[in-house]
Amino acid sequence: MDKEKNTFIVRCGEVALKGMNKPYFERVLLERIRKNLKKYEGIEAQRREGLIFVKAPAAYGKETVARDISRVFGVASVSHAVETESDLDAIYSTAAEYMNELIRERQIRTFKVEAKRADKTFPVESPDIARRVGGEVLKRCGVLQVDVHHPDCILYVNVRHGQTYIYADKMKGFGGLPLGTNGKGMILLSGGIDSPVAAWMMAKRGMLIEAVHFHSYPYTSERAREKVYDLVRILASYCGRIRVHSVNLLDIQQAIGENCPEDEMTILSRRFMMMIAERIAEANRCDMLITGENIGQVASQTAQGLVVTDNAVSMPVMRPLIALDKVDIMDIARDIGTYETSIRPFEDCCTVFLPKHPVTKPKLSRILESESALDKEALIEKALKTQETVTISPE
C-alpha cells in the first residue's frame, strides 16, 4: 500500500449505460478528470474494469481532491479508499486498521460490511467475505457492534484482481455526460440567476459552452459586466475554458425606442439578441443557442413570446429550464455556487429600457411589421463591431 498517495475510486454514472460506445465515453471522462486535476503534481489516473482509479499525493488532502473529481460531469460518485493485497489476512488487518481510525475520527459505534468480489477467481464469495471481515473487525475493534439496519458506518470491501479496496464514504458527483461528447452551444448569458444554471445543465449533458453577453454601456456599468465574468469563472470550474463575447445593444434599443411601440421593446430587443447570438454562434462553430428562459416567468417568456423569439433565428434553441419552478432553479444555483453572485444588485441591458406594460401575447405579424421600420441588418452589423471576446479558464 502506497501510504504517500491517496487512492480514489471513481464510478461512472450514465456513461456506464452507453453499450458499444462505452469505451469512448470512458476515455473522454478520464481525460476530463486529468484536466480537472492538472493543478496538482504527481496525479495518476487510469481506467480498469469499468471504474477509474486516481492516485494523488497525500499532501493535497483527500477531501479536496475528491471534491475536484466529483465536479467532473460524468462522475457518479467518488470514494477515498485504502488498498491492500487480495489476501484474506491482509484484508482483515487493513479493514481493522481503517475502522480504528474511523472510531478515533468520528466516534462511530455501529457498522456493517458490504463486500463485492469483482475477481471471480478469489476463493471466497461476497457474502462470506462480508461475514468474515465483520467478525475480524469486531474482534480487533472492541467498541464496535454490528447494526445491519441503521449503522453509523458501512464498510465496503471491493476485491479486484490483485488489489482489494476498502472504504466507507461515497461522495456524490453530478453525473451526466463528459464534456465534449455532445457538441457546443452558445448561451445567452445575463447576470441573473437563470442563464448560468441553463449553461451548467447543458454542460452536464456533455455540451461545451461559449457565451454571449449583451450590455448597454454606459447605461449599464462595467461592474455589471464584471459580475458576468465572475459567473463565468464559477461555471468554468465545471465546464472548462469558456469564451465570452460581449456585445453592446444600446444603439439597437434606442432605435427600437424611437421607431417602435413602447410595449414591444422587450420582445424586439430579445429578437435582436437572438439574431446576433446566432451570427456569433455560427462563426464559432456552435450547434445551437441556449437560453435561461422559463415559460411564464416574465413578459417575454410566455408561450406566444417564445414563438415570436424563435422566429428570429434558424438555429435550434435549447431551454433546459423551460418547465422548472423558480425555486428549483434557485436551489440549483445555490448548489453549483452561482446564486450569491447572480443576486448582486447590478443592472443589465434588459432592465434599463424595460417598458411599463410589456406585451405578453405578441402576434408575429405585428412584431414583424414593427421590425420593418428598422434597418435590421445595419443595426446587427454595428452591434457586432462592438464585440469583445475574453477567454476565462478554470482557476
Q: Give the type of residue at 38.
A: K
Q: What is the pLDDT of residues 119-167, one digit of tens each?
A: 999 999 999 999 999 999 999 998 999 999 999 999 999 999 889 999 9
Contact 167, 82 (CB under 8 A): yes
Q: Give me 230's grid cell.
A: 465572475
Rounded Cα distance, 344 and 190, in Å? 12
Q: What pLDDT does residue 1 have?
A: 47
Rounded Cα distance, 139 and 97, in Å? 12
Q: Name the residue with higher pLDDT: 75 or 20.
A: 75
Signed CA dihedral, 71, 72, 77, 78: sign only: negative
pTM: 0.89
Q: What is the pLDDT of residues 205-237, one digit of tens each?
A: 999 999 999 998 887 778 888 999 999 999 999
